[in-house]
Structure 1
Amino acid sequence: MRVELQPAYILHSRPFRDTSLILDCLTDDYGRLSLIAKGARSAKSRQRQLCQPFAPLLLSWQGKSSLKTLTSIESRQLPLGLQGEFLFSGLYLNELLTRLVPEQDSCPEIYQSYETALHQLAEKETLEPVLRAFELRMLEDLGYHLDLTSDADGAELQPSVVYQWWPEQGWRIASDTITAQNFSGAHLLALRDAVFQDPEVLRSAKILTRLLFKPLLGDRPLQSRKLFQKTR
C-alpha cells in the first residue's frame, strides 16, 4: 500500500537502529500508525527538523506490514510553538492518543478535535476548558458513551440532584454529599452544554474524566502528568 500526502501530526518518536526513527503519528484518514523514518537522525537528513511534534505535516508512506516506511515528509504550516504549561498539555494529549487510539483505525473526529485543541493551546486559551473539552470528545469518539442528558432509568438529569456514576449502568441518584464519584446534576448539565466558566464545573469535569480514563489507561501512570507536578 502506498499513501501520498496525508495530513498528520507526529505524537512521539524514538530511535531506531543507528540513524533512523520510529514515528507514532496521528493521520486524518488512517488514524494512528507507526512509520520508520530511515536516516532521519543523520546530521545531513532534511527530515530531521520536520520530525517534531505539534507541526502540521503531510506524510507519505508505503508498506504492507503494520510498520510502514516513510517516503516523504512536508510541512503544511509553521510548527505550533507551545511553551510552558501549554507544551506540557500538548504532550499530555499526545500521550493519551498514543495510549488509547487503536493503530490503523480511522478516527477523523479525534484528529479534528486534536487539531482544534492544539491551535487553542498555541493561542494560549485557558487550559482547563481546552483539556476537559478534548477529553470528553475523545471518550465519545472512542465509543465510551457518556450520557449527560438522562440517568440510568431514562429520567432527565435534574440540576438540584446529586448523581453517582455506575460504569455498567450510567447515572443513579446518590446521597446529597458530593464525593469523588458523586456529581451535581447542575455540573453534569453544564458539561453537556460545554459551559466551563464555573471553576467548580471544571473541577467536576477533571474528576469525571480521570474516573472514566482510569480503566482505559490501566495502572501505568501518564508520564506527562509528572511535568505538571514538577512545576507546582
Structure 2
Amino acid sequence: MEWTETGVVLSTRKHGEADVILEVMTAKHGRHLGLVRGGRSRRRQPVLQPGNEVYLSWRARLADHLGVFAVELAKARAANLMTSALGLHGVQHLASLVRLLPERDAHQSVHNALELLLDHLDDPAIAAPLLVRFELEMLAELGFGLDLAKCAATGSTDDLAYVSPKSARAVSREAGLPYHDKLLPLPSFLVNGQRQRGSEISYKDIQDGFQLTAFFLERNGPTNNASTLDLRSSMIAALEKSYRTTQPWDFFDDPPLSG
C-alpha cells in the first residue's frame, strides 16, 4: 500500500530513540499517522513542527498498518507561528479540533480551511472570524451543522439575529425578540450576504460567534474534556490580547481589560 500527498503537521510523539510518530491532516486521506524514521534528528525536527505543510509518501504492507512516512518540507509556517501566543495556542487548538475526526476519513473542506487559517494566524482581524467559521465547519463535519440560511419560525432570510439552542436553526430578530433571553446571538458575519469583511466585524461579534460555537461543541462534540477546553480558552485569550494591541479602543464594546 502506498500513496503520496501533501499534509499539515498536527503533532509528533517520540517512538524509540530516534524515530517519531507523525500526525498530519491531508485532503484525501484525512487525519493520518505514520512512522518517520530518524524524525528526532536535527535535520528532521524543524520540518516536523506543527503548522508546517509537508510532502508525504506513505507506505505499508497492509492498509490497516501504521506505515512509514517519507517527509519533505513544502511550506514552512512553524517559525512564524511560534513568534506569537496566538500562533502557538491557535495551532494547538486547531489540531485538537481536527483530532475529533475519525482517523483516515477524508474531510477536504476541513483540510482546506485549516491551511487558510494557518496562513492568517498572524493577523487577528482575519483569523478571528475564520476561527469561528472553522468551528462551525467542524460541527458540520461531525454531523451537528447549524442551519443559518433562514428563520426557523417564519422562513424569512432577512434580519437573522438569533440561533435556537434546541433546533440549531436561525431565528429572525422580530420572531425571536420575545424569547431573546433564551436564544443565542447570531453575529451578522455568519449570515450569507451580510458584512463579510473582517474590518467590519467588532470584537463583540467575535465573542458572540465563539459563544455560539462553544454551546454546540460542548453539547454535541466530545470537546468537554479539560485539555481541549484549556486549549480553546488559551487561544481565545491570546486572540483578545492580539486584538487589543492592534485595534483602537472604540473597536470594543467594553472597556480594556486591566493588566
The TM-score normalised by the length of structure 1 is: 0.81
Shift of 1:230: 7.9
Q: Distance in 1 between matches of 2:147 and 2:36?
A: 42
Shift of 1:212: 1.3
Q: Which residue of 2 aligns with 1:72?
A: 70
Task: Give the paired residue count.
Answer: 224
Q: Distance in 1 between matches of 2:214 and 2:163?
A: 17
**Alpha carbons of 1:200 and 1:178: their partners in 2 closer, same or farther (altered >3 Å)?**
farther
Q: Distance in 1 between matches of 2:22 and 2:169?
A: 38
Report whether the alignment pairs 1:209 with 2:210: no
More helix by share: 2
**Alpha carbons of 1:11 and 1:67: their partners in 2 closer, same or farther (altered >3 Å)?**
farther
8 A contact 1:40–1:47 mirrored in 2: yes
Q: Distance in 1 between matches of 2:85 and 2:58?
A: 33
Could you tell me which amino acid in structure 2 is paired with residue 9 of structure 1?
A: V
What is the DSSP-based 3-state SS (H/G/I as helix, E as strand, rest coil) of the residue aligned with 2:6?
strand
Q: Which residue of 2 aligns with 1:182?
A: 183
Q: Distance in 2 between matches of 1:139 and 1:218?
A: 11
Q: Which residue of 1 aligns with 2:50?
A: 53
Gaps of 5+ in 1: none
Q: Distance in 2 between matches of 1:49 and 1:20?
A: 14
Could you tell me which amino acid in structure 1 is paired with residue 87 of structure 2?
A: F
Query: Which structure 2 residues correspond to residues 82-161 of structure 1 after superposition, within 5 A?
Result: 82=81, 83-98=84-99, 100-123=100-123, 125-152=125-152, 155-156=155-156, 159=159
Q: Which residue of 1 aligns with 2:19?
A: 20
Over aligned residue pairs, what C-alpha RMSD do you find? 2.9
The TM-score normalised by the length of structure 2 is: 0.73
**Alpha carbons of 1:162 and 1:18: their partners in 2 closer, same or farther (altered >3 Å)?**
closer
**Alpha carbons of 1:123 and 1:57: their partners in 2 closer, same or farther (altered >3 Å)?**
farther
Q: Distance in 2 between matches of 1:160 and 1:211?
A: 19
Could you tell me which amino acid in structure 1 is paired with residue 137 of structure 2?
A: R
Residue identity (%): 20
**Alpha carbons of 1:71 and 1:135: their partners in 2 closer, same or farther (altered >3 Å)?**
closer
**Alpha carbons of 1:207 and 1:227: their partners in 2 closer, same or farther (altered >3 Å)?**
closer
Shift of 1:112: 0.6
Shift of 1:156: 2.1
Q: Distance in 2 between matches of 1:121 and 1:229?
A: 12
